[in-house]
Amino acid sequence: MKKKRNRNSAQGVWIFGDYRNYFQDRVTLQLISKGRDLAQTLETEVAVLVLGEGIHQYAMEYVAHGADVIIAVNDSRLKEYQVETYTTVVAEIVESYQPEILLGGATSFGRELFPRLAKRLNTGLSADCVALEIDPDSGLLIQTTPAFGGEMLADVVTPNHRPQMATVHPGIFKERPHDSSILGRILYPEIDIRPDERIQLVRSRPHRTGKTNLEGADIVVAGGRGMGPKEEFDMLYELAELLGGEVGATRPAIRAGWADEERLLGQTGKTVKPKLLLSLGTSGALQYTAGIQGAETIIAVNRDPNAPIFKMADLALEGDARSIIAALLEELRKRL
């Protein structure tokens, strides 16, 4: 990859290396994998941008997972993730090398950095994509993003601005296996780093969850009107604990006092994207399903076979939620 002086020819599929939670958040590795596919179609290379201090270990990991090139800026002033400083540094590098595509994981940081960066580069950006493909006719990157809370999907393109930028939802693409025999190149561009004094990280500590951590939960046990009254609904707290999950609730269940307001799922409550969502005794009203449709697997239990919730369930059980959960708890208690 060479520094480009000609504005009309851009190349390279670049990925922002978001290594802060390296072992839990695999999205950079997932993007390297997809980036390889895109790069192959475009007949170019995959590069990963890594900024920070002591980043060499991550550079090696990224190469082992498929990166052709690492573009590294190793500096103590970049030790903490910081949007304003990172924007200036990345923008400068992007302007010299002019990659065709720049991707990032839709982590909290990614979703803060990329818009600022896109504005700085005066280019287009799509958020939280669930699919990426190269259009065979135009060669453009088709960025598929959810709209209207996931009700619709929008295929977005950036026809006239570069790089084509997108943040990508974690878990969409599969990372390639680690292969330490792969070789890659590391570039060390000289960048003038001017940290932004206006913003200072006073303290950063691992987030201890409050009473509920619905948005971060891998498993959500959601109860609706069909799980009442309170004595029956309370079974869900035990179930959640046994499965290592969190309890959510629909508006009717909260109104009835079976769960606190902070457990509300849906349009006026929380949106969750767990690996597993158990939807128990819920009919599937739109205000509720808007908050759960991003779940990877949905298991629904309802006594009405025509409840709308069944249309979005991977596993659907027709019956009285309370008796089924009681039977399930009996079985689980035996095992644990």
Query: Where on the phi/psi map is residue 31: left (φ > 0), alpha (ψ -120 to 50), or beta?
Result: alpha
The footprint of other proteins on this chain (CB under 8 A) covers a number of residues equal to: 102
Nearer to other proteins, 184 or 223 (CB): 223
The Cα–Cα gap between 42 and 281 comes to 50
The Cα–Cα gap between 320 and 301 comes to 7
Q: Is 324 in the site for other proteins (CB under 8 A)?
A: yes
Q: Are 82 and 201 in contact (CB under 8 A)?
A: yes
Nearer to other proteins, 31 or 63 (CB): 31
Nearer to other proteins, 249 or 307 (CB): 307
| Beta-carbon contacts of residue 124 (< 8 Å; ≥ 6 apart) | 118, 156, 158, 161, 164, 165
Q: Are strands 219-223 and 246-249 parallel, antiparallel or unpaired?
A: parallel
Nearest to 252 by CA among 288, 286, 278, 293: 288
Which range in 6-14, 49-57, 185-193, 315-323 contacts other proteins by CB under 8 A?
Answer: 315-323
The Cα–Cα gap between 16 and 23 comes to 16
Nearer to other proteins, 68 or 232 (CB): 232
Q: What are phi and psi of 319, to 5 degrees?
A: 170, 180
The Cα–Cα gap between 83 and 216 comes to 23
Q: Give me the 184-223 binding string for other proteins, x by CB under 8 A, dash otherwise.
A: ------------xxxxxxxxxxxxx-------x--x----
What is the nearest approach in angstroms of other proteins to the Cβ of residue 179? 25
Among 60, 111, 172, 186, binds other proteins (CB under 8 A): 111
Nearer to other proteins, 184 or 245 (CB): 245
Q: Give me the 22-41 binding string for other proteins, x by CB under 8 A, dash otherwise.
A: --xx----------------
Footprint (CB under 8 A) of other proteins, residues 269-308? 275-276, 283, 286, 290, 297-299, 301, 304-308
Q: How far is CA 165 from CA 46, 125, 144, 174, in A?
A: 14, 5, 12, 20
Among 5, 7, 211, 335, binds other proteins (CB under 8 A): 335
Footprint (CB under 8 A) of other proteins, residues 138-177? 142-143, 145-161
Nearer to other proteins, 60 or 276 (CB): 276
Footprint (CB under 8 A) of other proteins, residues 217-256? 219, 243-244, 255-256
Residue-by-residue DSSP string for 266-288: STTSB----SEEEEES----HHH
Nearer to other proteins, 43 or 148 (CB): 148
Q: Is 79 in the site for other proteins (CB under 8 A)?
A: no
